[in-house]
Amino acid sequence: MADAFSAIPAAVLRNLSDKLYEKRKNAALEVEGIVKQLTAAGDHDKITGVINLLTHEYTYSPQANHRKGGLIGLAAATVGLSAEAAQHLEQILPPVINSFSDQDSRVRYYACEALYNIAKVVRGEFIFHFNKIFDALCKLSADSDPNVQSAAHLLDRLVKASVLSIRHCYRDIEEFIPLLRERMNVLNPYVRQFLVGWITVLDSVPDIDMLGFLPDFLDGLFNMLSDSSLEIRQQADSALSEFLQEIKNSPSVDYGRMAEILVQRAAAPDEFTRWTAITWINEFVKLGGDHLVPYYADILGAILPCIADKEEKIRVVARETNEELRAIQADPAEGFDVGAILSIARRQLSSEHEATRIESLYWISTLLNRHRQEVLSFLNDIFDTLLKSLSDPSDQVVLLVLEVHAAIAKDQHNFEQLLVFLVHKFQTDHTLLERRGALIIRRLCVLLNSERVYRELSKILEREADLEFASTMVQALNLILLTSSELSDLRDVLKLSLVNAAGKDFFLSLYSSWSHSSMAIISLCLLAQAYQHASAVIQSLTEEDINVRFLVQLDKLIHLLETPTFAYLRLQLLEPGRYILLLKALYGLLMLLPQQSAAFKILRTRLKTVPSYSFNKEQPDHISEDGGMNEENGIDFASWLQRFQRTQQQHHLHSKSQALSRNIPISAKEVPKPEEVRGPAVPVVEINRPPSRSSRKGPGQLHL
């Protein structure tokens, strides 16, 4: 350093730290001339001494004017070195870059000016120190002093121009990317503009593969899409658009890492961010194909909520992406995770949006069709959710859930399990039975064969321990059987119960469970044209049987007798001599009704239209005089009547037990008021009508 003091006159050193800029500037010119002479002489040791002097005695001085003089002196020394400057950059740059963090804004300003002049001299050589310069510029871009910001902006432009003019800066790009990634989370708008600008510049350099490093800073770019500054949003969008175009033209892209980022951004609160993310996902699904197989579940998890987005343009892209994804025939052997897809679909079944729930069900259905065994292996994970979805407020969702259930129930074991769980669901959720019971049963009958469904339900209810629920459920099934157009074939089978084996077998398969409700048994007998047995059942009823609930059910039956379902029965009344037992059964029902009830008047009016016939006339040979039940079509009706009576006796004992436990006096007979037995008209059961929002019962509901 002594050589440096001897090389630079004392007056020059004194003026270099003067408070007046002009004196410092003139002193710097003197330094430039001295260094130029030393360079010409090849005395690099003295040059090193001069740089050390300027660094330690000036740029690191506690005096601000000394630091200013040191910076201008280093810039002047670089100019003096000219072409030889590159070999001294390791000494020159650190004190200049260090001054960017100086507390004095004027010192920071002079640091910008000094580096600007140094860069003009060394041009591309300083790029080997790019990371340090970039980091310093990034900090200066958010400087609180506008003059420093302005100087930093000019310096930034010069550095960018230098980068674009050289071809060998890519060597340090891998060290630069972590620095860029770290800065991408900064919220300062000036820093964000600085970063987007540099990303764009570096991407335009042919020898730098910024696309390969895109996963490292993609999330930061997406984060800028929601910036409060329109200019920053536009710059970020422009950069993303350019990268997306490059992805389309690139043969090798790391879809996986970027897909993870896009999935997160597709759920962003900001609309523009969501739309951009879902647009990228759409392109990835089209371009990535098999490369995205391990990420299908995550992608689906991002798409399904967007299908119900409040913005139409997002919904449109999400639906298109969903269809594209579903059209890809992926195989579990190739990494396609059926369980993960099912997990996403199951989770989205709880979405508040109907469109999302519908698409989730379509996915489950698609997986069942393509990978049935794999789906069934996860049945325990999704079955409960599918059952809960039967209570969904949307009719369309319920119908789709039933289709999924039906697809699962193609196997006998799953079929039985479905109906067992369904009955249990009705038992624990009476509202579901009342509001959706008809819709669910009717649809399952269409999808799974109505006779098979009714036989299995009957078998389950026959062994049901909860007698009260069994009675309610049987009444519901009976009402559906008598009113649903989908079950007309079943009714036709039952009408032949006394004629052929198929009718007989089906009739007897229902009888035991139908015995939980006396009115259901009577309805079944009338439908099967087992009029003698119907009359016997009616006459077997005791005082305990005839209560308000019974009369309400009877009221409904009387109304049903006036519907097309029982048109054949009404026509049989034209031949009273041939169908005397039908008359006897109907008169038996009439005798049970209160005379002031509407049902009594309806049935009495109907019976008045029957041609006159005397019960005293000779009865047909196959009917015993005491109304006894001879076997018909091999059915031992006497035995079945005893079974019915035993079941009803169990109900009587249960009712008494319940009354005792509640300390309610047991009355053998409750006499209802006429208005209590005026049941509602037969419910119209429609599948496609939307649910009512009023308090009235909607489609597919049961009036129990």
pLDDT at 699 over 50: no
Phi, psi for 623 (deg, rounded to 5): -115, 130
- 665 confidence band (pLDDT: 50, 70, 90): low
State pLDDT tens for residues 343-356. 999 999 999 999 99
- 2 confidence band (pLDDT: 50, 70, 90): low
- 690 confidence band (pLDDT: 50, 70, 90): very low
Question: What does the pLDDT read at residue 43?
Answer: 87
Question: What does the pLDDT read at residue 625?
Answer: 39
CA 407 from centroid of its chain's CA atoms: 22
- 613 confidence band (pLDDT: 50, 70, 90): low
Each residue of 397-432: b (16+ CB within 10 Å) or e? bbbbbbbbbbbbbeeeebbeebbeebbebbbebeeb
Mean pLDDT over residues 310-337, rounded? 91
Each residue of 666-703: b (16+ CB within 10 Å) or e? eeeeeebeeeebbbeebbebebeeebeeeeeebbbbbb
287-296, 443-452, 664-673 — which one is most confidently predicted on average?
Answer: 443-452
Mean pLDDT lowest for which of 152-156, 516-520, 580-584, 612-616? 612-616
DSSP 8-state class, residue 679:
P
pLDDT at 258 over 90: yes
Q: What percent of the chain has pLDDT over 70?
A: 89
Question: What does the pLDDT read at residue 622?
Answer: 44
Each as own residue / partner, the long-range contacts of residues 661-669 (CB below 8 Å, 24 or more positions apart, any chain) are 668/543, 668/544, 669/543, 669/544, 669/546, 669/547
Question: What does the pLDDT read at residue 222?
Answer: 95
State pLDDT tens for residues 176-209. 888 888 889 888 899 999 999 999 988 888 878 8
